[in-house]
């Protein structure tokens, strides 16, 4: 009878064998973290609601999560303490059978046996744009050293009980998928990051750009923006801004930045006919954060000496023409686009009145021709009468 059910399960799953595979192990230790990759042709997205763990015919509650990373799906789950045989079920998975889409359950058996796992890790995968943490529970009475390979190879001392491992992505600028090894675990990590490399960080605070260094034409003032980011899970307060208020204006001069948020800061500089060299210092004493934002502006006399496409049209004493205007003289590149150094003249709008006049003349001519034709026909309608007349 048992062989019959095994055969039946294999028969039901056969159409899906070529479209869905997993790297699940046959057995796990009690309280180990299960991390599985599902590969294949997914006709529809998988969801966490399709995941069920069973012991025999009974559903068993597991702590788990499912997520698509790249072209594959990853499932992590915390294995229970009880040594038993279990079945992982993905319900209603679409597959192709004889050219027709059918839905069947994908099932794989695994057992829980042996000694208790030394430690558990959660979550079992990471998909983030920000700094992240991994929780590790050590099930032994003595501290344990484990190796970690992110952001570089090093070791971490785990204490008995709960441990929180923090990872910074401050030096990551491009999307990246990797397996983060923490001792015996390989945790899939996808960093969904796409940002400029011109950034500077201190603690959980990041600024972009890291500096201002430009050649500009002589102007009374010039404006820039600075983006400040809090990557921490908690708010940052008591932010202190230190700068020379005679040549620098900052708005808004924020004192608090909420967790996982950013703020654009407007910076106005007053060169006052001289080269400008100064810095803005951003600090948070209680978090040991200190960020220096250096500023260097060199005054030049000729536009060709200024940084290419780094000066504003106002610095060139020009104006950006609108769509219905045309520059009457010399133009030059600027941050806003082509800058007219002369006068923006309004383009003469094409007139289509002559078309209306032409149509009017045509209609009048047509009416006249029809009138004449009608009149001639009316006049020869009774030739006998015309002859008597």
> Residue range 214-242: average pLDDT?
88
Which residue(s) pair with 72 in the sheet? 69
Whether the pLDDT of residue 348 is over 70: the answer is no
Which residue(s) pair with 295 in the sheet? 212, 278
Percent of the chain with pLDDT over 90: 47
Whether the pLDDT of residue 283 is over 50: the answer is yes
What's the pLDDT score for residue 12? 44
> Residue range 201-224: average pLDDT?
86
> Residue range 147-152: average pLDDT?
93
Whether the pLDDT of residue 169 is over 80: the answer is yes
The b-or-e profile of 22-31 (16+ CB within 10 A means b, else e) is bebeeebbbb
> Cα separations (Å) of 380 from 1, 147, 226, 373?
111, 115, 92, 11
Report residue 5's pLDDT band, with 50, 70 and 90 as the boundaries. very low
Compute CA 117 distance to the chain's CA centroid, rounded to the nearest angstrom: 37
- Which has more pLDDT, 337 or 311? 337
Whether the pLDDT of residue 336 is over 80: the answer is no
Among 118-127, 146-155, 255-264, 339-348, the minimum mean pLDDT is found in 339-348
What's the pLDDT score for residue 76? 97
Whether the pLDDT of residue 39 is over 90: the answer is yes
Query: Measuring CA to CA, which residue among 75, 79, 68 is closest to residue 89?
Result: 75
| Per-residue tokens: 159 | 């204490």
pTM for the full model? Answer: 0.58
Number of alpha carbons in the 13 Å side-chain half-sphere of residue 324: 4
Q: Is the distance from CB of 138 to CB of 164 less than 8 angstroms?
A: no
What's the pLDDT score for residue 2? 46
Homologous superfamily of 200-303 in CATH? Immunoglobulins (2.60.40.10)
Rounded CA separation 267/221 (Å): 10
Among 23-37, 96-110, 121-135, 358-372, the minimum mean pLDDT is found in 358-372
How many residues comprise the chain?
A: 389
Whether the pLDDT of residue 48 is over 90: the answer is yes
Percent of the chain with pLDDT over 70: 84
Rounded CA separation 5/11 (Å): 10
Q: Hey, CA dihedral for 147, 150, 153, 155, is it positive or negative?
A: negative
Q: Which of 175-189, 228-242, 367-381 has the highest mean pLDDT?
A: 175-189
CA diameter of the chain = 139
> Residue range 345-349: average pLDDT?
72
Compute CA 161 distance to the chain's CA centroid, rounded to the nearest angstrom: 36
| Per-residue tokens: 199 | 């950034």
Decide whether 2-191 matches 200-303 in CATH topology: yes
What's the pLDDT score for residue 177? 94
Query: Measuring CA to CA, which residue among 294, 298, 322 is closest to residue 310?
Result: 298
Query: Measuring CA to CA, which residue among 110, 119, 109 is closest to residue 139?
Result: 119
> Residue range 72-95: average pLDDT?
94
Whether the pLDDT of residue 6 is over 50: the answer is no
The structural domains of the chain, with segments of one domain joined by +, span 2-191, 200-303
What's the pLDDT score for residue 312? 67
> Residue range 305-333: average pLDDT?
72
Please give the order of strands across the beta sheet that includes 276-284: 212-217, 289-300, 276-284, 240-242
Rounded CA separation 106/91 (Å): 6
Report residue 355's pLDDT band, with 50, 70 and 90 as the boundaries. low
Report residue 102's pLDDT band, with 50, 70 and 90 as the boundaries. confident
> Residue range 339-345: average pLDDT?
85
174 CB contacts (<8 Å, ≥6 apart)?
A: 193, 194
**Choices 2.60.40.10, 1.20.1560.10, 3.40.50.2020, 2.40.160.210: CATH for 2-191:** 2.60.40.10
Q: Which of 9-23, 158-172, 266-280 has the highest mean pLDDT?
A: 158-172
Beta strands, E only, 168-255: 176-182, 185-191, 200-202, 205-208, 212-217, 222-230, 240-242, 248-251
Omega of the bond leading into 35 within 30 degrees of 0 (cis): no
Query: Measuring CA to CA, which residue among 347, 299, 338 is closest to residue 319?
Result: 338
Among 273-277, 303-307, 355-359, 371-375, the minimum mean pLDDT is found in 303-307
């Amino acid at each position: 009878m048992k062989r019959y059910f095994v055969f039946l399960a294999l028969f039901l799953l056969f159409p899906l064998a070529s479209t869905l595979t997993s790297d699940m192990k046959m057995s796990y230790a009690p309280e180990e973290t299960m991390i599985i990759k599902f590969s294949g042709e997914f006709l529809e997205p998988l969801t966490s609601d399709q995941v069920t763990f069973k012991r025999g015919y009974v559903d068993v509650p597991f702590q788990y999560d499912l997520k698509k990373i790249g072209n594959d799906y990853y499932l992590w789950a915390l294995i229970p303490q009880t040594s038993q045989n279990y079945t992982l079920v993905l319900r209603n998975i679409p597959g192709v059978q004889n050219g027709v889409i059918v839905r069947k359950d994908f099932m794989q058996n695994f057992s829980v046996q042996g000694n208790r796992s030394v430690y558990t890790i959660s979550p079992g995968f990471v998909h983030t744009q920000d700094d992240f943490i991994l929780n590790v529970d050590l099930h032994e009475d003595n501290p344990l050293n484990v190796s970690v390979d992110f952001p570089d190879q090093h070791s971490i001392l785990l204490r008995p009980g709960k441990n929180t491992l923090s990872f910074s992505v401050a030096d990551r600028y491009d999307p990246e998928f990797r397996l983060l090894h923490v001792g015996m675990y390989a945790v899939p990590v996808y960093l969904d990051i796409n940002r400029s490399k011109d950034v500077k960080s201190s603690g959980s605070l990041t600024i972009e750009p890291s500096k201002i260094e430009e050649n500009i034409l002589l102007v009374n003032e010039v404006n820039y923006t600075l983006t400040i980011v809090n990557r921490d899970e908690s708010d940052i307060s008591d932010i202190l801004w230190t700068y020379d208020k005679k040549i620098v204006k900052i708005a808004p001069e924020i004192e608090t930045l909420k967790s996982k948020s950013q703020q654009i800061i407007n910076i106005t500089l007053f060169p006052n006919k001289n080269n400008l060299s100064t810095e803005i210092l951003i600090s948070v004493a209680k978090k040991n954060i200190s960020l220096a934002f250096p500023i260097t502006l060199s005054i030049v006399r000729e536009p060709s000496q200024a940084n290419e496409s780094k000066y504003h049209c106002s610095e060139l004493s020009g104006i950006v023409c609108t769509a219905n205007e045309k520059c009457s003289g010399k133009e030059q590149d600027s941050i806003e686009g082509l800058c007219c150094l002369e006068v923006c003249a309004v383009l003469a709008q094409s007139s289509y009145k002559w078309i209306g006049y032409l149509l009017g003349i045509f209609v009048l001519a047509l009416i006249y021709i029809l009138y004449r034709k009608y009149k001639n026909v009316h006049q020869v309608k009774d030739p006998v009468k015309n002859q008597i007349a």
